[in-house]
Amino acid sequence: MNKPLLQLLLTRITLAAVTLFAVSIVVFAATQYLPGDPARAALGAKADPSAVEALRREFGMDRPAVVQYASWIGGALTGDFGRSIPSGRSVWEAIGPRAVNTLILTVTSLLLLIPLSFVLGIAAAIYKDRLADHLISVPTIVTVALPEFVIGTVLIVLFAVYLRWLPPVSLINDSLPLSSQTSLFILPVLTLLGTTLAQVVRMVRAVALEVLSAEYIYMVRLRGISPARVLLRHVLPNTITPTIQTIALNAAWLAGGVVVTESVFQLPGIGSALSEAVINRDMPTVLAITLIITATYVLINLVSEALILLLNPRLRVARGTT
Amino acid sequence: MTEAIPLVVQSLYMHDLNGREIVSDVSLHVKRGEVLAIIGESGSGKTSVALSLLGFARPGMRISSGKIFIGGTDILSLSGRGKRAFQGGKVSLVPQNPTTSFSPRMSVGKQMAELLAAHGHSGTGMKQLMRDALRSVDLPDDEKFLRRYPFELSGGQLQRIAIAMAFITSPQVIVMDEPTTGLDVSTQQTILELIARLVKSSSASVVYVTHDLAVVNVVADRVAVMLSGRMVEQGSRKQVFAAPSDDYTRMLLDAIPRLVTDGPAAAPEAEGAIEFQNILEVKNLRAAHGQVEVVHGVSFSVGKGECVGLVGGSGSGKTTTGRCVTGLHSNASGSLSFEGHSMPFAVSSRSKADLSAMQIVFQNPDRSLNPKESVAQSIARAVRLTGLADRARVGAEVRSLLDRVRLPQRVADLYPADLSGGERQRVAVARALAVKPKLLVCDEITSALDVSVQAAVVELLLDLKRDGLAMLFITHNLPLVSEIAQSIIIMKDGSIVEAGRTNDVLRSPNHSYTRMLLDAAPRLN
């Protein structure tokens, strides 16, 4: 790797770290000013004030905010997010299995999203204004306008109520291995795919249309190169880079947008854990989940920027001179 | 009969998707080792004919009937794999714009190898072919060069590779679509020489499409002239140039700017005795892009009613000099004096009167006119800058400006997209004239135009000069400048290498670069 590229990457990584740090402060400050007292919420409205005070002391909530933040961020950096307030269990232990569920859900969606959107988008561009284009474009335009809970509900009505192929809710049983419960993930994955696919397909189609009409594509064709090779070696590489940003945007949306989908299907994931924690004023859990989601967000953006840099031959071959 | 002649086209017709005829009844044939030049203006259908020889029509266009025999096989009757074996194998194309004709994310070596692999080559034989091809176009043939990406190479280098690729499969027919148009004049000359050399040593039939008649003289054996989709004249080069049978061909030939040294002394000579009072004086001008100085201490002056030609190749600093004068480039030092007072470099520190007294017209009217504004709106906005507010009077002024640049009144309500290149450039000139400038800086204003349109724009500039307008005419086209400028400044690598009266410079050039430019300018006899 050459020097300018390395420098660019280091700058991006530093910026990502700074962003994450800033976000941690904002999130922590927000939980401090959130109305409601976690200790009172845990013990109930009629609890003895001295018991509430004891609980506050036990969780260190009587210390000044800055000290609380310092001990929290110190722990977070070493992977210790503290203990959940009502249960007293370690936050990791409580949200760990749920995080795995969410990870399966989002990563599966993403792995389907990327190849599917390139195939559909490029096909729509090649068959522009013909039947195949309409068959791809009309449904994607319709779904892009629908919120995920509508898509989820329609899928439930169709596949669970009428066809009875799949369960309407995804109540995962922690005592059974996940591999035996894969059918529970199908509808949530389809829902997430439905909300993200449209945008990426539209973008791929627009970029591919531009590439297909570029002079160099005609030149390659007029050299007698086979259509398959033109598509794979010339159209596809030039379509990927401008689309990375859109894919990253949707991947980042998946990291946060999963909250609604999980609650539609009652899937025990990180999203439903977050809403439960907010209701219980379980601040350590709220903080941990928010930080994980933001970190994912920042990481996805970092990866996409790094990819754009790495895929750009101008930077790859830059010889340190201008 | 068709087997003996590598390329035979029989009554080719092409239509656009609205059914309009683009090419009608074109027939031609090119023998082994022969070069046929197809000339015509933009929109004459010459490029459509050229691309059809590869069995290809641009989107929005279709080949409706006719036969195109390449080595005895009608390429239009082929499809799929059979057609692809011909494209790049038996008939190849050198494109107009080398910088946009290479796949941007693949090294040039891979693109050459891809072409060869598609036509049955492989292994060491293929590598050897690539090396030989690169050497034949005077490029390095090492691995390092093959690994280069298109953006790492200049337009001239890319065009050399494109030419190498057109010859590498030893095709029977080679089509060249304006292969030098996108290059600057000195590169143009070397590429043209290269093409002439390769064509001579090859037995391929070559079709060379161009709008530049002077270029034809260098390469062609026979010439075909196209006008609005029809072939109006076809014959040997000598015959067409010496005794054109068609009015349009005669008009094209007359429209070519000629170096004054070629013929009887032109108009500028007669005015040579007049002394001009200076309107613009530039002293020791230095300009830089970032840290890199591109103009190294240039001094010259322009007199009232005088036209000064600023000539040089790309990278000579001529455009930057023009931009410094008009205040568009302020990273500069030295002194500018205009109408007797000194003038700052930054456009923001110049007075309103100075700003309107000096106008610039750019090379490409497609990019300097607002596409969402009608001609009348564009010009009227400039007219209102002079302080004129009354609607009727603004309208009258717009009409008189259109007259002055010889545009019909009906164009007033049209948009730039509805106009031809020449008409657009005249709108740009009218807009510059609206604020009543005393000095007009013309930056390559005819480069993007066809010869006949170019001639009309030059006529217009000569008219304006007679009305007393001073002009700084920046160009790489020496014959053109010899027609309208009283004096010439030759720039190279940011410095003036020669300056003087047009006739003196052209008849007895002192500097080798001037002589090189003179030799490089294609001419007709």
* Domains present along chain A, CATH in parentheses: 3-77 (no CATH), 95-279 (1.10.3720.10)
Q: How confident is the model at residue A201 (pLDDT cuts 50, 70, 90)?
A: very high
Lowest average pLDDT, out of A166-170, B76-80, B266-270, B502-506, goes to B266-270
Contact status, residue B245 vs residue B233, Cβ threshold 8 Å: yes
Provide the pLDDT for residue B521: 67
Mutation choice for A interface testing from B78, B103, B292 by most A CBs within 10 A: B103
Phi, psi of B261 (to 5 degrees): -70, -20
Type and span of the H or E element at A74: helix A65-77
Q: Chain B window 109-148: which residues touch A at a Cβ cutoff of 8 Å?
A: 111, 114-115, 118-119
Residues from chain A contacting residue B114 (CB–CB below 8 Å): 220, 223, 225, 229, 233
pLDDT digits (tens, 9 = 90+) for B72-91: 899 999 988 999 999 999 99
Question: E strands of B99-194, at which residues?
Answer: 173-177
Provide the pLDDT for residue B192: 86
Instruction: Please answer yes or no on whether B149 and A314 come within 8 Å at the CB atom.
Output: yes
User: Across residues B37-47, what is the average pLDDT?
Assistant: 85
- Pick the last residue of a domain from B220, B255, B290: B255
**Domain match, B221 and B287 both:** no
CB crowding B227-236: b at 16 or more within 10 Å, else e: bebbbbbbbe
Instruction: Please answer yes or no on whether A226 and B149 come within 8 Å at the CB atom.
Output: no
Instruction: Please answer yes or no on whether A220 and B86 come within 8 Å at the CB atom.
Output: no
pLDDT digits (tens, 9 = 90+) for A112-122: 999 999 999 99
Shortest distance between the Cα of A221 and any Cα of chain B, in A, equals 8
**Domain match, B211 and B271 both:** no
Q: Is B423 among the domain residues?
A: no
Q: Name the residue with tokens 């930054």.
A: B346
**Domain match, B105 and B202 both:** yes
Q: Which of B93, B104, B105 sits opposite A222 (nearest CB)?
A: B93
With H, G, I as helix, E, B as strand and everything else as coil, classify residue B27: strand
Highest-scoring range by mean pLDDT, A1-15, A141-155, B261-275: A141-155
Q: Is B103 among the domain residues?
A: yes
Residues from chain B contacting residue A313 (CB–CB below 8 Å): 104-105, 149, 151
Q: Which of A222, A233, A317 sits opposite B106 (nearest CB)?
A: A233
**Domain match, B35 and B138 both:** yes
**Domain match, B245 and B278 both:** no
Q: Is B248 among the domain residues?
A: yes
Contact status, residue B240 vs residue B225, Cβ threshold 8 Å: yes
Q: Is B312 among the domain residues?
A: yes
Q: Is B404 among the domain residues?
A: no
Distances (CA, A) of B400 to B202, B405, B465: 57, 9, 18
**Domain match, B243 and B272 both:** no
| CA–CA dist B140, B164 (Å, integer) | 12
Q: How confident is the model at residue B207 (pLDDT cuts 50, 70, 90)?
A: very high
State whether residue A222 sits within 8 Å of chain B by CB. Answer: yes
Lowest average pLDDT, out of B9-13, B265-269, B359-363, goes to B265-269
| CA–CA dist B381, B392 (Å, integer) | 14
Q: What token pair was written down for B332? A: 């500069």
Residues from chain B contacting residue A317 (CB–CB below 8 Å): 149, 152
Q: Taking 50 as the threshold, does the pLDDT of residue A319 lie above it?
A: no
Shortest distance between the Cα of A303 and any Cα of chain B, in A, equals 21
Q: How confident is the model at residue B50 (pLDDT cuts 50, 70, 90)?
A: very high
Residues from chain B contacting residue A213 (CB–CB below 8 Å): 59
Provide the pLDDT for residue B13: 95
Q: Which residues contact A5 (CB under 8 A, 6 or more apart)?
A: A309, A310, A315, A316, A318
Contact status, residue A194 vs residue A143, Cβ threshold 8 Å: yes
With H, G, I as helix, E, B as strand and everything else as coil, classify residue B14: strand
CB crowding B79-103: b at 16 or more within 10 Å, else e: eeeebbebbbbbbbbbbbbbbebbb
Residues from chain B contacting residue A240 (CB–CB below 8 Å): none
Length of chain B: 525
The single-letter code of the amino acid at B157 is Q
Provide the pLDDT for residue B214: 73
**Domain match, B91 and B145 both:** yes
State whether residue B102 sits within 8 Å of chain A by CB. Answer: yes
Q: How confident is the model at residue A317 (pLDDT cuts 50, 70, 90)?
A: low
Helical packing angle, B185-201 and B512-520, nearest 10°: 50
- Pick the last residue of a domain from B208, B231, B255: B255
| Separation of CA A76 from chain center | 20
Q: Taking 90 as the threshold, does the pLDDT of residue B294 lie above it?
A: no
CATH of the domain at B329: 3.40.50.300
With H, G, I as helix, E, B as strand and everything else as coil, classify residue B173: strand
Contact status, residue B433 vs residue B404, Cβ threshold 8 Å: yes
Q: Is B286 among the domain residues?
A: yes
- Pick the last residue of a domain from B204, B223, B255: B255
Please, what sign has the CA dihedral across residues B407, B411, B416, B421?
negative
Q: Taking 70 as the threshold, does the pLDDT of residue B185 lie above it?
A: no
With H, G, I as helix, E, B as strand and everything else as coil, classify residue A138: helix
CA angle B295, B301, B302 (to 5 degrees): 120
Shortest distance between the Cα of B45 and any Cα of chain A, in A, equals 18
User: Across residues B110-129, what is the average pLDDT?
Assistant: 92
Highest-scoring range by mean pLDDT, A245-249, A280-284, A310-314, B111-115: B111-115
Q: How confident is the model at residue B268 (pLDDT cuts 50, 70, 90)?
A: very low
Q: How many CB atoms lie within 10 A of CB A132?
A: 14
**What are B74's strand-pairing partners?**
B69
User: pLDDT: is A94 or B117 the higher one?
Assistant: B117
Shortest distance between the Cα of A184 and any Cα of chain B, in A, equals 42
Residues from chain A contacting residue B89 (CB–CB below 8 Å): 224
Q: Taking 60 as the threshold, does the pLDDT of residue B1 lie above it?
A: no
Q: Is B2 among the domain residues?
A: no
Q: Which of A219, A225, A313 sits opposite B101 (nearest CB)?
A: A219
Provide the pLDDT for residue B270: 44
Q: How confident is the model at residue B171 (pLDDT cuts 50, 70, 90)?
A: very high
Residues from chain A contacting residue B86 (CB–CB below 8 Å): 224
Type and span of the H or E element at A202: helix A183-212
User: pLDDT: is B2 or A127 the higher one?
Assistant: A127
Provide the pLDDT for residue B30: 94
State whether residue B13 sits within 8 Å of chain A by CB. Answer: no
**Domain match, B134 and B282 both:** no
Picking from B183, B227, B171, the residue whose alpha carbon sits closest to that of residue B53 is B171
Q: Which of B59, B101, B111 sits opposite A213 (nearest CB)?
A: B59
Provide the pLDDT for residue A230: 94
Instruction: Please answer yes or no on whether A218 and B87 come within 8 Å at the CB atom.
Output: no
Q: For chain B, what percent of residues have pLDDT higher than 90?
A: 41
Distances (CA, A) of B37 to B59, B205, B207: 25, 11, 6
Instruction: Please answer yes or no on whether A224 and B86 come within 8 Å at the CB atom.
Output: yes
| CA–CA dist B348, B344 (Å, integer) | 9
User: pLDDT: is B2 or A309 the higher one?
Assistant: A309
Q: Taking 90 as the threshold, does the pLDDT of residue B310 lie above it?
A: yes
| CA–CA dist B218, B94 (Å, integer) | 17
| CA–CA dist B295, B286 (Å, integer) | 5
State whether residue B163 sits within 8 Å of chain A by CB. Answer: no
| CA–CA dist B474, B309 (Å, integer) | 6
Q: Chain A window 186-215: which residues touch B at a Cβ cutoff of 8 Å?
A: 213-215
pLDDT digits (tens, 9 = 90+) for B442-471: 988 887 677 777 787 888 888 888 888 999
**Domain match, B299 and B320 both:** yes
What value does the mean pLDDT of chain A take? 84
Contact status, residue B24 vs residue B208, Cβ threshold 8 Å: no
Which residues span the domain enclosing B513? 267-370+436-520
Q: Taking 60 as the threshold, does the pLDDT of residue B262 lie above it?
A: no
Look at strands B307-311 and B470-475 and give their pairing: parallel
Shortest distance between the Cα of A227 and any Cα of chain B, in A, equals 9
With H, G, I as helix, E, B as strand and everything else as coil, classify residue B59: coil
**Is the entire prediction scored with pTM above 0.80?**
no
Shortest distance between the Cα of B54 and any Cα of chain A, in A, equals 7
User: Across residues A4-20, what is the average pLDDT?
Assistant: 86
What domain count does chain B have?
2
Provide the pLDDT for residue B2: 47
Look at strands B205-210 and B35-39 and give their pairing: parallel
Q: How confident is the model at residue B523 (pLDDT cuts 50, 70, 90)?
A: low
Residues from chain A contacting residue B56 (CB–CB below 8 Å): 218, 221-222
Residues from chain A contacting residue B51 (CB–CB below 8 Å): 222
State whether residue A218 sits within 8 Å of chain B by CB. Answer: yes
What value does the mean pLDDT of chain B take? 86
Provide the pLDDT for residue B184: 66
**Domain match, B358 and B217 both:** no
Q: How confident is the model at residue B93 (pLDDT cuts 50, 70, 90)?
A: very high
Q: What token pair was written down for B282? A: 């530039």
Q: Taking 60 as the threshold, does the pLDDT of residue B62 lie above it?
A: yes
| CA–CA dist A308, B475 (Å, integer) | 40
**Domain match, B302 and B189 both:** no
**Domain match, B33 and B149 both:** yes
CB pairs under 8 A between A and B: 74
Shortest distance between the Cα of B176 and any Cα of chain A, in A, equals 13
Provide the pLDDT for residue B265: 42
Q: Taking 70 as the threshold, does the pLDDT of residue B518 lie above it?
A: yes
Q: Is B68 among the domain residues?
A: yes
pLDDT digits (tens, 9 = 90+) for A22-80: 988 988 888 777 766 777 776 777 778 887 788 777 777 778 888 888 888 888 888 78
